[in-house]
């Protein structure tokens, strides 16, 4: 074989692999995390799991990616081990779509319509359309569609070039002898597994096999072991992703491996035994692109039909291979496996930020209870939650930094920025809750208590702050503007209460009715409660801005928008809500006489 042919083959393989990678990346972007959410939520039974696994993998064209997602979901505690079995089985079926597309290369007809379906014609056409969309259209979805079309075009071009480049090989005795050696089923399985493991894509290795089939040296008994090996080799990606994960995540990767090994061994023994007895006429039949694609599909469907009734036994088997009780782990939705799909990673990061807000709210409640009645166990629980909150903040920071290394759209970059600001707000709320608990500890150590009236004032303000926190977390979790707009009027009432109580505090200091020691702690509590509501306002304002139209004042100038709200008379909804919350929280303490705390 001449050097030019070798270079042509390598270039064709490179074009083919790049086209597949481009197409797969585009399909994953276009899914925007929706396919992953379907996997996460709609796996109530194994049959449904098979269908979902096939559909999702057919759309993103990577059984390895689907299995890695399952590993990530199990590791994060989102999905149970048993739910992944059907998805993994279906993934093997879904990955056959690429081979079916490539089998269009066998089309040969004088009919113009059929001729355009041949990759030699279709590839360049798709590549031109795709590059136009990808380079000259800035819209996110259309650009992604262009990437998919371009990838598919390059896939066809690479396949056509490979077929042309390997054509001279059919005359070489050495090439024929190599494929004759693959008639040894064990060698065929090993080679198929090795090539697929190196490429980390069974679709890619299948495409290469289809290209080689155009030389006329690939017969059924050679193709079958190679296809079986390809199914086994694609498991390497999931196995690598499970390193360092939980036991059940490792078991998920092992399910993929055992499913393919058991299916391959069963049908390998069955086929060779039956051929020894009956001498199949198709045993030495020459395979083309279409017959290889159909064999690949038939094998994966047969494996699924064979092992589907034994899905529970498959789970028991992997539990024997990876023994031990499932360890209790801290729930973490920040699995690095999700980073390959930025939209999904952002959703998981959003969930983690919500969890931070819930931690901060739990600590605020505990801190208020400590002021009312000190309890060492509650203080210990508060400190444990604060440690978890700080840890989650560190994890989120690192996770979002890793995410920024990916190719993000403008919308995704904006989302990262919003997450970073919001997690900072929730972390600060947690810190202020700790400050409140420290005031409670000081009151306890010094044996001093507030008067009944002062306690009532603090209770009213704490209740208003708690409702502010509840509404803030709810609006951030659901991203509902109707909830977000309720936060600012409530925060304004908190400010009103704080200003009133501070003024009373100053008057008491002037008249000597309040001791400096008690007054200092009272003022410290007011400051921390007020600052918690300020951070709630920051979070809610982001939701209001995100859910407003581009020409809305809050999007153009947030400071002017807030200034107008506080001046009154500009926003009837704000004024009405402010009056309601003022009546609820401020009125009960408005007429009280300023007495010593």
> pLDDT for 6-30, tens place per residue?
788 788 888 888 887 787 777 766 6
The whole-angstrom separation of Cα 341 and Cα 163 is: 33
pLDDT 10s digits, 135-155:
887 666 778 888 888 988 888
pLDDT at 200 over 70: yes
Within 251-344, strands assigned E span none
- Rounded to an integer, the average pLDDT of 206-219 is 86
**pLDDT over 90 percentage in the chain:** 35
pLDDT tens-digit map of 482-530: 899 999 999 999 999 999 998 887 777 777 767 778 888 889 999 999 9
Residue 244 confidence (pLDDT) above 90:
no
Question: Given phi > 0 = left and psi -120 to 50 = alpha, else beta, which region is 379?
Answer: alpha
Between residues 408 and 272, the one the model is more confident about: 272
pLDDT score for 596: 42
Residue pair 105/210 in contact (Cβ under 8 Å)? The answer is: yes
Separation in Å, CA 111 to CA 2, 116, 397? 36, 9, 59
Please provide the average confidence, as pLDDT, over all residues in the chain: 83
Q: What angle do CA 332, 333, 334 make, to 5 degrees?
A: 90
Q: What is the pLDDT of residue 328?
A: 38
C-alpha span between 431 and 534 (Å, rounded): 13
Where do the domains of the chain lie, and which CATH numbers do they carry?
3-321 (no CATH), 338-447 (1.20.58.220), 449-597 (1.20.58.220)
Residue 442 Cα to chain centre, angstroms: 45
Q: Which residues contact 282 (CB under 8 A, 6 or more apart)?
A: 220
* Residue 91 contacts residue 63 (beta carbons within 8 Å): yes
Q: Flag whether pLDDT at 538 surpasses 60.
A: yes
Nearest to residue 85, comparing CAs of 70, 95, 63, 97? 70
Q: Kindly state the average pLDDT of the residues 291-319.
A: 93
């Amino acid at each position: 074989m001449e050097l030019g042919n070798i270079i042509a083959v390598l270039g064709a393989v490179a074009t083919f692999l790049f086209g597949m990678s481009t197409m797969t990346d585009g399909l994953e972007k276009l899914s925007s995390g929706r396919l992953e959410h379907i996997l996460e939520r709609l796996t109530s039974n194994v049959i449904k799991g098979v269908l979902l696994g096939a559909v999702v993998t057919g759309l993103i064209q990577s059984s390895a990616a689907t299995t890695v997602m399952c590993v990530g979901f199990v590791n994060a505690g989102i999905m149970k081990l048993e739910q992944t079995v059907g998805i993994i089985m279906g993934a093997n079926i879904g990955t056959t779509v690429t081979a079916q597309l490539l089998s269009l290369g066998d089309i040969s007809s004088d009919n113009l319509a059929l001729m355009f379906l041949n990759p030699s014609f279709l590839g360049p056409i798709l590549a031109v359309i795709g590059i136009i969309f990808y380079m000259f259209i800035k819209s996110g979805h259309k650009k992604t569609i262009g990437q998919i079309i371009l990838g598919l075009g390059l896939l066809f071009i690479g396949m056509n070039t490979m077929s042309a480049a390997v054509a001279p090989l059919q005359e070489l005795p050495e090439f024929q002898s190599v494929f004759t050696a693959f008639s040894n089923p064990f060698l065929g399985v090993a080679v198929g597994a090795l090539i697929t493991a190196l490429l980390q894509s069974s679709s890619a290795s299948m495409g290469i096999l289809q290209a080689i089939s155009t030389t006329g040296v690939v017969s059924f008994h050679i193709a079958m072991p190679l296809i079986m090996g390809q199914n086994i080799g694609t498991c390497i990606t999931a196995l690598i992703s499970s390193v360092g994960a939980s036991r059940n995540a490792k078991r998920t990767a092992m399910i993929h491996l055992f499913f393919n090994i058991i299916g391959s061994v069963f049908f390998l023994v069955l086929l060779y035994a039956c051929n020894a007895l009956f001498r199949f006429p198709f045993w030495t039949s020459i395979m083309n692109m279409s017959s290889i694609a159909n064999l690949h599909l038939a094998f994966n469907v047969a494996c699924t039909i064979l092992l589907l009734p034994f899905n529970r036994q498959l789970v028991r088997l992997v539990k024997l291979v990876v023994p031990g009780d499932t360890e209790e782990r801290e729930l973490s939705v920040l699995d690095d496996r999700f980073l390959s799909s930025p939209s999904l990673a952002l959703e998981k990061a959003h969930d983690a930020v919500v969890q931070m807000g819930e931690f901060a709210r739990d600590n605020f409640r505990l801190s208020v209870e400590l002021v009312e009645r000190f309890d060492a166990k509650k203080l210990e629980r508060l400190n444990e939650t604060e440690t978890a909150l700080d840890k989650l903040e560190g994890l989120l920071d690192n996770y979002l930094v890793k995410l920024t290394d990916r190719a993000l759209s403008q919308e995704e970059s904006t989302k990262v920025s919003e997450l970073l600001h919001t997690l900072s707000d929730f972390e600060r709320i947690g810190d202020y809750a700790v400050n409140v608990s420290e005031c409670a500890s000081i009151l306890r150590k010094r044996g001093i208590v507030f008067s009944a009236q002062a306690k009532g004032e603090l209770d009213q303000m704490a209740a208003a702050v708690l409702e502010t926190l509840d509404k803030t977390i709810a609006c951030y979790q659901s991203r509902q503007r109707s909830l977000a707009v309720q936060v600012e009027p409530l925060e304004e009432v908190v400010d009103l209460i704080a200003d009133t109580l501070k003024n009373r505090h100053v008057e008491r200091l002037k008249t000597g009715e309040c001791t400096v020691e008690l007054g200092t702690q009272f003022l410290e509590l007011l400051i921390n409660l007020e600052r918690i509501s300020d951070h709630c306002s920051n979070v809610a304002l982001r939701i209001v801005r995100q859910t407003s139209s581009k020409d809305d004042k809050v999007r153009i100038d947030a400071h002017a928008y807030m200034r107008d709200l506080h001046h009154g008379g500009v926003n009837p909804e704000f004024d009405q809500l402010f009056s309601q919350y003022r009546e609820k929280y401020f009125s009960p303490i408005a007429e009280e006489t300023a007495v010593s705390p």
